[in-house]
Structure 1
Amino acid sequence: MTIALAGDTMLGRGVAPQIEQSTDPADFLSSELLGRLAEADFFLLNLECCVSARGSRWEARGKPFHFRAPPQAADLLARLGVGCVTLANNHALDYGYEALTDTLDHLGRAGIGTVGAGPDLDRARRPAVFTVRGTRLGVIGVSDHPRDFAAEPARPGIAYADLSSGTPPWTLDAIRELRPRVDAVLVTPHWGPNMTDRPLPYVRTAAWDFVGAGATVVAGHSAHVFHGVDPPVLYDLGDFIDDYAVDELLRNDLGLLWFVEFGERGPVRLRALPIKLAYARTRAAHGEEWAWIRRRFTQACARMGTAVSVEEGEFVVGLGNHAYAEAMEESPPEG
């Protein structure tokens, strides 16, 4: 099977009016991207907004952004072929508990699975299991911020995990409990600060704790900038669709759409398609944009000892079984 992965997907603010006018995927993604996504067997992304017409802004000191997509956003995601979204992030409760409830309802109505948030603590932490071409795929979503979004036994919220203080035992227990029931475990954490070009030490520690507990692939997000790959860890997927301002140095408008290819014994290789984000529309990157992404991705992976090759305009990283087996036995790198 092939799993498509996309990073932060923000369908509110400036994107929202366009969704109210159209849920045609061609209005948001180029034909080249749509063609590649159609080849994948399963598509997961980080939904960085709530989906609702209700609620009021979450009041918290220092919170500058509130993102809310219209209910039609669920239809757009379904038409894009999204099978699951993670809601474990710092925007799931932007418009309160009412809007989170709506988000879960609208996505469920559209046939899209969710992880990382729920009406109570148990359901926020609960994994989702999907059967993809005969393979049972388990997905777990967690976020290390913000603490005030954390679900409680009788309160809606996200699957909050304070990773900076050490990987919480419950996250590892969740992976260990899920692993015997599925063929592969995908852990998708929202971790670390925005606008960084590499993972912080505690993020790397948590990643390898997840792998040691039985995660087959770890695919993170939050930085708005793609990071390097240390198989089987994809530290940050970057951004996918949004209306964000562009940092001239980090170029959060240049990113990657990721495809993890599995064989009989697990992940075999990663293919990453370079993309260019404009205002509420994303296309494949070409020319100097493509070259910039290649340089940055190659350098980021090289810092982790990972080689990158190019095939048909996409970047390829080996995720062979040896990498997963070694990860299960070795300690994570420092720093």
Structure 2
Amino acid sequence: MAVTVALAGDTMLGRGVARCLAAGDRVRELFGAEVRAAVAGADLCVLNLECCVSDRGEPWPQPGKRFFFRAPPCAADVLTDLGVDCVTLANNHALDYGYDALADTLERLESAGIRTVGAGPDLAAARRFQVLEASGVRLAVIGVADHPEDFAAAPDRPGTAWAELGEGLPGWLEELVRQAAAEADAVLVTPHWGPNMTARPPRHLRRAACALLDAGATLVAGHSAHVLHGAARGILHDMGDFIDDYAVHPALRNDLGLLFVVELDGPPLVPVRVEALPLRLEPGRTEAARGEEWEWLYDRFTRACSEFGSAVAPVGGRLVVDWRDGG
């Protein structure tokens, strides 16, 4: 029993990217052929959608909030064409344009055949996991975010699945992981956690990742930093960015990223191999990295993974971590 899951970090289809959506064959305009092929080659695809999908709403009235991301309705079809099965909306941009825009996002994604986790019309819906099926495997997906608290859903208010992680896992999240593990063959938890533009995960998030595995998660795949972090066994601490139009940090190079394809094998299902496609992000377009940029990513990911005892090998232009060999 085996399944492969393509995983991508922050995916922002608004602002400058939205302007690119007006061009012809939309998915081909946004993603290069190797990127599309990597997603198509996996059994499932899950990513963090860092925007709403709507043409309604007003900017969220949060003092000091600088960035508001809203993609046009056609963005849902772009994700379908790419081959995305599920997105998490638990992040700091799900309510950028208020409750109506979140409702539109949920409706448009559902109409496009894309499952959502991490946000909903009330607290119960925001915390609900989804179960995806492929190759005879049932994969439960859970989405949570540790910021911002004012986006948190309540029993009678739409919002995100907010989780305070500073002092360990909240009881509801631990129980949710256990419930998902009981109903599926494997559990993916994809948290939006930690501050932007950091080179490595904070200590408390390292502890939280291990606690999620202890609770029954099969794989933890994080995002939020916009920068690649290392991989430990069963943990991708931060996957970096997938597509956007963000300003580029000259040292941290958030314009270079990875598309991860994780192989789960068993029984019981466990992550046995990570194959990552190096990416180059231009404003509104993502392609496979080449040359010096590929080398930069290889060096960066190798050094980041070494902190967690994971070895990285270049194989056919991709970066591979093979946990079957103790790497």
Deviation at residue 21 of structure 1 after TM alignment: 3.9
Rounded to whole Å, the distance in 2 between the matches of 1:21 and 1:56 is 26
Query: Contact 1:256–1:272 at 8 Å: present in 2 too?
Result: yes
Counterpart for residue 311 of structure 1:
315
Matched, 1:203 2:205: yes
- Per-residue CA deviation, residues 55-85 of structure 1 (Å, 9 max, x unaligned), is 1000111211000000000000000000000
Residue number in structure 1 paired with 2:287:
283
TM-aligned CA deviation for residue 23 of structure 1: 5.3
Kindly indicate whether residue 278 of structure 2 is the aligned counterpart of residue 253 of structure 1.
no
Regions of 4+ moved over 6 Å: none
Deviation, 1:17, is: 1.9
- For residues 97 and 226 of structure 1, the distance between their equivalents in structure 2, rounded to whole angstroms, comes to 31
Conserved 8 A contact 1:23-1:73: no
1:80 equivalenced with 2:82 (yes/no): yes
List per-residue Cα deviations over 1:309-332 (Å, max 9, x = no partner): 111111111234989xxxxxxxxx
**Structure 1 length-normalised TM:** 0.94
- Aligned letter for 1:300? A
Alignment partners' CA distance in 2, 1:179 and 1:80: 28
2:103 corresponds in structure 1 to: 101
Cα deviation 1:261-295 (Å, max 9, x = unaligned): 12233221000111000010010011100100011
Q: Which residue of 2 aligns with 1:91?
A: 93
CA contact 1:5–1:43 (8 Å) conserved in 2: yes
Residue in structure 2 matched with residue 138 of structure 1 by the alignment: 140
What's the offset of the Cα at 1:306? Answer: 1.2
CA contact (8 A) 2:165 2:208 kept: yes
SS at the partner of 2:131? strand
Counterpart in the other structure of 1:149: 151
Deviations 1:201-233 (A, max 9, x none): 111011011000000000000000010001100
Unaligned 5+ segments in structure 2 are: none
Deviates more, 1:257-266 or 1:227-236: 257-266
CA distance, structure 2, for counterparts of residue 203 and residue 56 of structure 1:
33
Closer/same/farther in 2, CA of residues 240 and 92 from structure 1, 3 Å limit: same
Matching residue of 2:35: 33
Q: Does residue 299 of structure 2 align to residue 295 of structure 1?
A: yes
Distance (whole Å) between structure 1 residues aligned to residue 84 and residue 73 of structure 2: 16
Cα offset for 1:140? 0.3
The 1:308–1:321 alpha-carbon spacing in structure 2 relative to 1, beyond 3 Å, is: closer
User: 2:118, 2:285 → 1: CA distance?
Assistant: 26
Task: Give 1:36-51 correspondences, 5 Å limit.
Answer: 36-51=38-53
Structure 1 unaligned spans of 5+: 324-335
Q: Could you report, residue by residue, the CA deviation over 1:95-128 in whole angstroms, capped at 9, with x for unpaired residues?
A: 0000000000000000000000000000000000
Check whether the contact 1:15–1:243 (CA below 8 A) recurs between aligned residues. Answer: yes
Q: 2:323, 2:102 → 1: CA distance?
A: 36
TM-superposed deviation, 1:22: 4.2
Q: Give the Cα separation in 2 of the matches to 1:23 and 1:319.
A: 38
In structure 2, how many angstroms separate the alpha carbons of the residues matched to 1:17 and 1:256? 24
The residue number in structure 2 matching 1:327 is none
CA distance in 2, matches of 1:306, 1:143: 26
* 1:228 is aligned to 2:222: no
Does residue 268 of the first structure (1) align with residue 272 of the second (2)?
yes
Tell me the alpha carbon deviations over residues 151-201 of structure 1, each in whole angstroms, 9 at most, x when there is no partner: 000100000001123321111100011111100000000000000010001
Offset of 1:308 from its aligned partner? 1.1
Letter in 2 for 1:272: A
Equivalent residue number for residue 241 of structure 1: 243
TM-score by length of 2: 0.97
Q: Specify whether residues 199 and 31 from structure 1 end up closer, same or farther in structure 2 by C-alpha distance, changes over 3 A only.
A: same
